[in-house]
Amino acid sequence: MGKTNQLESILESLEQADALAGLQEATEALQNHFNVDHIAYHWVDSAGDQYGCGTYSKDWQDRYIAQNYQRIDPVVIGCYQRFHPVDWKQFDWSSKAARAFQLEAIEYGIGNQGYSVPVRGPNGQFALFTVNHTCDDDAWANFSENHRRELILIAYYLNEKALEFEPERRPEAAQALSPREVDAITLLAIGYNRAQVANTLSISEHTLRVYIESARFKLGALNTTHAVARALSRGLIVV
């Protein structure tokens, strides 16, 4: 079977997958198809109950989660700020924590080269699709350039399926905020205190409090800062 057809059949089996097991199989098929060290799909979630599938060793996955490495992993941090796929070389590995992390990853069999595609879903959902390998810079640049489109599509399909199979993990459909609530939360997010917000919106501070409290309630937030954080990460407000 030609390379193109092989990829085609992987994509199709992915499109038709009807359970999480199908995603795991797909990553293994992709590892074989691209002939690389590792393929991984990683749903990033602060709560620590993140989902992932791929060819990393179980040991490494466990360690990553136990250590909450997504907080210092330059790949996660770097991808979070970008839209397009990124070569790992472009991340900031200068901090001590990042370098220690990298060394440990290599010990666990992660390749020295990597290419990651960020994917975003509704309500602030965020995931990474990564392919990584051990080779020199030129070979890797060549690989990533040649397979850019395919990798983007694969990332897209993996995330689509992951969202489909994990309804309970899906961030709750954030109840939309009313226009006034959006105004209030937005102004708080840009640093205004309540007096300034009330003044800007030309309402009394008491009225403002009603908005903040109802927004907090709708967002399930414990305090104003939490409400702002949730509204931001769910894309309900833009700063």
Partner DNA sequence: TCCGGTCTCGCCATTTTTGGGGAGTAGAAA
Partner DNA sequence: TTTCTACTCCCCAAAAATGGCGAGACCGGA
Nearer to DNA, 13 or 95 (CB): 95
Question: Segment contacting DNA (CB under 7 A): 9-17, 41-49, 136-144, 214-222?
Answer: 214-222
Q: In angstroms, what CA-CA distances link 140 with 133, 135, 148, 165, 189?
A: 8, 7, 12, 33, 41
Least distance between a copy of itself and beta carbon 33 (Å): 17
Token code pair at residue 7: 């990829």
Nearer to a copy of itself, 35 or 48 (CB): 48
User: With contacts defined by CB under 8 A, how many residues of the chain interact with a copy of itself?
Assistant: 63
Residue located via tokens 């038709």: 16
Q: Is 146 in the site for a copy of itself (CB under 8 A)?
A: no
- Residue of 58, 83, 103, 138 that binds a copy of itself (CB under 8 A): 83
Q: Is 70 in the site for a copy of itself (CB under 8 A)?
A: yes
User: With contacts defined by CB under 7 A, how many residues of the chain interact with DNA?
Assistant: 26
Q: In angstroms, what CA-CA distances link 180 with 37, 109, 123, 201, 238?
A: 51, 52, 20, 9, 14
Report the DSSP beta bridge partners of residue 115. 87, 131
Nearer to DNA, 30 or 231 (CB): 231
| Sheet hosting strand 86-87, strand order edge to edge | 52-54, 38-44, 126-133, 113-120, 86-87
Rounded CA gap, 194 and 32, in Å?
57
Residue ranges in contact with DNA by CB under 7 A = 95-97, 178-181, 193-195, 201, 203-204, 206-207, 209-214, 216, 222-225
